Amino acid sequence: MSDLRAHLDRLESAGDLATVEERVHWADTAAAVAGEAARTNGPAVRLADTGGRATLVGGAFGGPDRLSVRSREPWSRTGSALGLGHDAAYLDTLDALVAARRGGADPDPVDRPAATADADLRTLGLPAVGDADVPTLTLGVAAVPAAAVGDGTDGDAAASGSLPTAVPEDSRTDPDAVSWIPVRGSVHGSDGLRLSVPAPAGSTPDGTRVTVVLGTPPAALFGATTRWLGESQVAGAPRIADALGSVDVAPTPAGAVPAASEVLIEATVSRAPASTATPDRRPSGLPSPWESAVATATLRARVDGVRVRDDPIVPFSPTGAPMADGRHLLSITESARLYGRVNNYWGVAPAEWLALPVEAGLGICLVASDVLYAGFEWQLANTLFSFSRLFDKVVVLDTETPPMDLGRAFDDIWVKAHPANDWEFSDPEAPAARAPHYRRDGATGSNMYVDAAWDPRWDEEYIAPRVTFEATYPEEIREAVRADWAALGFDHGPENDPTHDRDADGGA
């Protein structure tokens, strides 16, 4: 089992976790410090003294941008979290997430969760994030009785109000009896929770028990996110999580929860508004990125009890900051989803790599692909538009662009694509994309793709070779220069070379 603590230990060993010992209060400074670390491509930061009971960690699932060559990659912490290693290759990380969609074995049950100490939600020190003036929950997972989570349509079982409000005691570690959903929320008063949840969970009847867990094993967080990203042919979140890393589960009235979670908030759904003047108020703070990928609803609940592990640790995302955890989480899971789909659609796997770069706010999809035939670029781009509503811009690259080489990708977009012929726009009736900031009223508009791949109809002689060290110099010169590099008096080894891609050497 790999819990959050093991993940943080690995980050620390890799030099990718720093500790801030001085007081940074959860109410006004903690999110700013984590946001600044994210913005400046810093390591994850452990905030040891926030005025609350919990230690906060920002950036546990974040990472630096890939707009320069760095010693760590944007996905390094994800790779580490999933047990693939801090130096995991990008494609290995995608492949692991794709494979996990089929699900693994049933999670092993344990008698009780690791969090056993009673706690008070208000004194935990959950950070106020994204302009909120109350404690907020990010990177949360909620367990809800599976029977209570419908498909969002009228007349489903949950909406009928005829269901038990808790999972029967003999099924409380059964992965089929529970739904794990991504959750973002805020704390109001002594026991009020406002939760943003995927829409089908929004119809959970009053009185239904729900357990919100914070500081879950990373596999559970990725599993819950993956489960809700618009696919029907995927396993339940507990089994996806178990495929990503063995996750023990413990019983709660709402069903099984990841046993190693740091904080368990047991609550009961209660739609009775705290104030009749604001009956539909959403959670405070900015939405998490996953909320732009799925339809959401607000769930209100009253806290029944809080249990924590000793010296609890709560990871959070400084939502709104560039390179924040939430963006990374959605970027890698959605990239994996689309990568898996386009490579299981035409009988062949044309996409060498695919990414919704965090750096672009998930508003652009890059795909490096074999261009199977003339017009395939159009087909590929429009397939991606039909698979995801996040973005309205696709860049089609040649497979010679190394995975996640954003430097090359954002060079080719300008120099390989003909400004008149290779920037293609659809008719203006496409639905509005959800990541961008325009047309938030849902007005239709155009999608566009940039064809930055060679035209398959071109003669071979038209194809300009790239200027790279490998392509430009004879092998004997390359070998001699590399072999003599230090003797020639240079300092920087191959780890500084942008062409030293980990995917090519298996993550070495």
Give the residue, chosen from 13, 116, 386, 496, that forms a contact with other proteins under the rule CB under 8 A.
496
Closest approach, Cβ 374 to other proteins, in A, equals: 15
Total residues interacting with other proteins, rule: CB under 8 A: 107
Closest approach, Cβ 88 to other proteins, in A, equals: 20
Task: Say whether residue 182 binds other proteins (CB under 8 A).
Answer: no
Contact characters 268-287, other proteins, x per CB under 8 A = ------------------x-
Task: Say whether residue 469 binds other proteins (CB under 8 A).
Answer: yes
Q: Which of 337, 170, 191, 203 shows the shortest CA–CA distance to 271?
A: 203
Task: Say whether residue 36 binds other proteins (CB under 8 A).
Answer: yes
Give the residue, chosen from 3, 4, 29, 52, that forms a contact with other proteins under the rule CB under 8 A.
29
C-alpha span between 47 and 8 (Å, rounded): 13
Task: Say whether residue 475 binds other proteins (CB under 8 A).
Answer: no
Neighbouring C-beta atoms of residue 83, cutoff 10 Å: 17
Closest approach, Cβ 481 to other proteins, in A, equals: 5
Q: Which of 61, 63, 64 shows the shortest CA–CA distance to 215?
A: 61
Give the residue, chosen from 391, 397, 404, 502, that forms a contact with other proteins under the rule CB under 8 A.
391
Q: Which of 381, 195, 221 shows the shortest CA–CA distance to 283?
A: 195
Closest approach, Cβ 317 to other proteins, in A, equals: 8
Give the residue, chosen from 121, 220, 324, 338, that forms a contact with other proteins under the rule CB under 8 A.
324
Whose Cβ is closer to other proteins: residue 68's or residue 190's?
Answer: 68
Neighbouring C-beta atoms of residue 457, cutoff 10 Å: 10
Give the residue, chosen from 272, 277, 488, 508, that forms a contact with other proteins under the rule CB under 8 A.
488
Task: Say whether residue 329 binds other proteins (CB under 8 A).
Answer: no
In the region spanning residues 77 to 106, those forming contacts with other proteins, defined by CB under 8 A, are: none
Backbone φ, ψ for residue 390 (5° rounding): -70, -40
Burial class (CB in 10 A: 0-12, 13-18, 19+), 483: exposed
Q: Which residue has 């074999």 as its token pair?
A: 370
Cβ–Cβ under 8 Å, residues 92 and 352: no
Beta-bridge partner residues of 198: 296
Give the residue, chosen from 67, 105, 117, 348, that forms a contact with other proteins under the rule CB under 8 A.
67
Task: Say whether residue 442 binds other proteins (CB under 8 A).
Answer: no
Give the residue, chosen from 73, 92, 377, 405, that forms a contact with other proteins under the rule CB under 8 A.
405
What value does the CA radius of gyration of the chain take, rounded to a whole number of Å? 24
C-alpha span between 121 and 192 (Å, rounded): 10
In the region spanning residues 347 to 386, those forming contacts with other proteins, defined by CB under 8 A, are: 357, 359-364
Task: Say whether residue 407 binds other proteins (CB under 8 A).
Answer: yes
Task: Say whether residue 52 binds other proteins (CB under 8 A).
Answer: no
DSSP 91: H
Closest approach, Cβ 279 to other proteins, in A, equals: 26
Task: Say whether residue 397 binds other proteins (CB under 8 A).
Answer: no
Q: For the range 364-367, what are the long-range contacts, defined as Cβ-Cβ under 8 Å and sequence gap of 24 or more?
A: 364/391, 364/393, 364/394, 364/395, 365/338, 365/390, 365/391, 365/393, 365/394, 365/395, 366/394, 366/395, 366/397, 366/406, 366/409, 367/342, 367/394, 367/395, 367/396, 367/397
DSSP 338: H
- Taking CB under 8 A as the binding criterion, the range among 180-188, 208-216, 227-235, 423-431 that sits at the site for other proteins is 423-431
Task: Say whether residue 456 binds other proteins (CB under 8 A).
Answer: no
